[in-house]
Structures are given as C-alpha cells and as structure tokens.
Amino acid sequence: MSAATVTAPRSVSLTQGRHRPGDATVTDPALVRRAVKAAALGNAMEWFDFGVYSYIAVTLGKVFFPSGNPTAQLLSTFGAFAAAFLVRPLGGMVFGPLGDRVGRQKVLAVTMIMMAAGTFAIGLIPSYASIGVGAPLLLLAARLVQGFSTGGEYAGASTFIAEYAPDRRRGFLGSWLEFGTLAGYIGGAGLVTLMTALLSDADLLTWGWRVPFLIAGPMGIIGLYLRLRLEETPAFAAEVEKAEASRPKVPLREMVAGQWKALLLCMGLVLVFNVTDYMLLSYMPSYLTSELHYDETHGLLVVLGVMALMMVVQPFAGALTDRVGRRPVIAAGCAGFLFLSVPALLLIRQGSLAAVGLGMAALGLLLVCFTAAMPAALPALFPTRVRYGSLSIGFNVSVSLFGGTTPLVVTALIGATGNMMMPAYYMMAAAVIGGFAVWRMTESAGRPLPGSAPSLEGAPGDPA
C-alpha cells in the first residue's frame, strides 16, 4: 500500500506507483490497500490478546493468583493487565523517535515481533500451583514486553496509514485500523467463548486457557511478512529528501515541549477514546459476569454481537468523517456518552438479554464515533518531522494513565463504594474532557497532513 510520491528520495525505495504532478503525492490504490492491511493486522493481533485476556480474566485469576476471593483474583489479574500500560510510554519514547529517524516500516516490524513473542510466552507459563510466585512474576514480565512493544504500535500504524492515504479518503482508510482492532478482539473473545462452551471448567483451567495465547506465534509471523514487504511512506521519504538523504535525530524536547499544545489535545482525545473503549471491550464482559452474576456464555455472546455490529458500521462512519469532518463525529460521541451512559448502564443492569443487548449496542455505536475518526484525526495533530514520536508519547501517556487502568480503577471504585453505576460516571467524566479537546482541535478532513504535500488518489493500475 504505497503511494506515488512526488519527490522520492534516492536513498529510500519508492519505485512502485509514483509519479510527479507538481508538488503533490499521487497514491497507487493497490499499494495503499496493502499498507492498510499490514497496519491493521498488527492492531488486530494486539487486540486479539486483549480480547483473550479480558474474556478469560476469571480463569487467569485462578491459574496465577492464589486467593479464595474471586474479587481479589480478578483485581490481581486486571492489575497485571494494567501493568503493561505503565511501560507503554517508555515504549513510545523509544519507538516513536526511532520511527521518525529510521522510518515507520522498520519500527512496525520490530513491534510486531515483540508483540507476538510476549503473547506467545504467556501460553507457556506454568501455573501458580506448579512454580509458586514465579508464575505471576513471569506473567507480569510477558505483559511488560507486550506493553513496551505496543507503545510504538498504534501511533506507528495510524501514522503509516495516514501518510499513505489520499487526503479525501483518510478517514475511510484510517477506519480500517480500528476495524482490525474489532476483528482481533472478536477473534480472541470468540475463541475464548467457544472454548468456554465446549470445555469443562477443569480442562479450561488446566490447559485450555493456553491455546488462545499460543495462536499468537503464527499470527505474528504472517504480520511480520506483510510488514516487511511494504515500502516507506511518501511523507517520510519526502522528509528524508529534505534532509539531503540523512535521517537526523529529532530531540525528545522538540517532540514534547515543541508540540505541547498538540500533545494536550492528543491526550484529551485519547482519554475519552480509550476510557470508553476499554470500558466496553475489556471491562464489561467481567462486569456482566462477576458484578451482575450474568450467565458467562450469554454475556460473552452479547458483547461479541455488539462488536460485530460495530465492525459493520465502522467503514461507513469512517467515510462519514471524510464528508462532514472529524470534529462533528467525535463531538457527537462525547455528547452521547455524557447523556446516555447512565440510561445505557441502567438497561444493562436490568439483566434480560434484550436489555443488556440494547444498552451495550448503544454504547458500541457511540464508541464507533471515536474508532472511525481517531486514526485519521490524531496523526493530523503533528507535523511529519515529529509525527510518530509525538503521537507515540501523547497517545501512550494518556492510555497508560486513563485507558488501560479503566478495568482496575472501576473494579476498585465499585468495591470501595458499592455503587454499581460507577462505569457510567467514569465514562461521563471522560466525555467532558474529550468534549473540551474537540472544541480546541482544528478540523483536518480533506486537508494535507501538517508538513506534507497534498495527497491525491491515482487511478488503479497507474504506471510508476
């Protein structure tokens, strides 16, 4: 999925589908599609792991944490889940600047290898009954590897797609990144649901839980192959040429202090995006089971159905952001979570299959406002020279502080207050912060990325 760039540097391979109409970049649709697939697959793999971990959290608590208290086990499991987010900013500070220096494609290949290795390793860890305290420590180590690698994954993948996409279709093409998220999550969660239905509790506890994590190995090899076949993005290639084919190191100070306003906007947008995302996709399955005592299999199927609905709507919502703009779509999502979180959770707490399905569907459709718009909106906050680095830092700091900790914080709040409406209040607070960020951001739909030439869509099969 490459594009035709106007000023292709001789030091970077940019041979397919590129020509020079003045100072614009002309994209080759076939190469763009290939880039979107490769970027989305990495995101799918990351969320395959999240789906597995979230849906099998109760079982993991029994395997790795010795406590007769189910709530304590669940808290410990989500604690290990949240620990990975503590190192995400470190990963972003390493991989982001590296991506601005040596290229997006190389760094995305490295993050794919690390992500696959970390997930695969979890499937090999002995239980607490076998090796004692070493088991949760090894689980924590594997989660830290995953967290460090994902620190460079989302920002790199969204940057990669945004820099390949023509200006007028960036929202639609970027929406496929989150389509990959949903596909990966459905794959992971669906596999756990199937295994929960087919295996006995004893089999799931002794060996069944390992299977979903071991699948990450083959998935990682496929993803790595696809990413290694890609060329560098036209925007990065042009930046290299401007620097006379050198790749100067951009100081971390320039990525932070030089972009502080954009970073604050990024963190606000990512906060509302990820708090609501992790609330719905990571926390709600356990909420239905452990807090509302909902039938486990039926609860999982409801959430999977909601994600399938989101997948259907996702590309259309992405195309909508190209027509009406990113700001109106994100603002609609913030307003929806502010005013509908309480009614939706009250519906879910009714407990009937219809009520739970309706409440979850409402939250899922509101979440699509973010999943469809953010992959195009976030990279457009930063210029090409620091895009990968600044976006990695802003994205991962916000995710680490607010997004990934959502299951742990909300579980603790419910435990401390006994108030089962805490998930709704948490989403409402996030919506207020996100709404302020939307108010301050600049519309980017249909416009070139900062620091990049206009990007136009070429005809299929255009000669190089």
Secondary element (H or E) of residue 4 = strand 3-4
Strands (E), 96-249: none
In degrees, rounded to 5, the angle at the alpha carbon of residue 371 between the alpha carbons of residues 365 and 377 is 135
Q: β-pairing, 3-4 with 455-457?
A: unpaired
What sign does the dihedral 237-239-243-247 (CA atoms) show? Answer: negative
Question: What CA–CA distance (Å, rounded) separates 242 from 213?
Answer: 44
Supply φ then ψ for residue 456, to 5 degrees.
-115, 150
Pairing of strands 25-27, 455-457: parallel
- What is d(CA 66, CA 72) in angstroms, rounded to the nearest whole number? 9
238 close to 7: Cβ distance less than 8 angstroms? yes
Distance CA 427, CA 460 (A): 43
> In the prediction, which pLDDT does 5 show?
39
Q: What is the reported pLDDT for 10?
A: 32
Tokens read off for 458: 């070429």
What average pLDDT values come out for the chain (464 residues) when binned by 10 residues?
38 36 68 85 80 76 74 70 79 88 87 87 88 86 87 88 92 94 86 84 88 84 80 80 60 74 95 93 78 70 88 96 97 98 94 87 96 96 90 90 84 88 96 96 92 73 43
Q: What is the pLDDT of residue 18?
A: 42
What integer pLDDT is reported at residue 11 of this predicted model? 32
- Report the candidate in 115, 182, 197, 174 with the shortest Cα–Cα distance to residue 150: 115
Rounded Cα gap, residues 427 and 409, in angstroms: 12
How far are the Cα atoms of 169, 182, 279, 306 from residue 312, in angstroms, in the given order? 18, 10, 20, 10
Cβ burial, residue 308 (10 Å; 0-12/13-18/19+): middle
What are the Cα distances from residue 320, in Å, to 174, 336, 363, 413? Answer: 12, 17, 19, 37
Could you please report the per-residue DSSP string of 41-80? Answer: HHHHHHHHHHHHHHHTHHHHHHHH---S-HHHHHHHHHHH
Q: How far is CA 195 from CA 24, 48, 49, 58, 209, in A?
A: 51, 15, 15, 14, 8
Give the dihedral sign, CA 180/46/263/339: positive
Give CA–CA dist 309/313, Å, rounded: 6
What would the two tokens of residue 296 be? Answer: 């486990």
Q: How far is CA 308 from CA 45, 200, 360, in A?
A: 17, 27, 12
Token readout for 108 is 């995305």
Distance, CA of 18 to CA of 464 (rounded, Å): 5
Alpha carbon of residue 250 to chain centroid: 25
Domain ranges in the chain are: 27-443
Q: What is the CATH number of domain 27-443?
A: 1.20.1250.20
Sequence-distant (≥ 6) Cβ neighbours of residue 374 within 8 angstroms:
158, 178, 269, 270, 273, 330
- Please tell me the pTM assigned to this model: 0.84
Cα 99 to chain center, whole Å? 18
Q: Are 421 and 345 spatial neighbours (Cβ–Cβ below 8 Å)?
A: yes
CB 134 within 8 A of CB 224: no
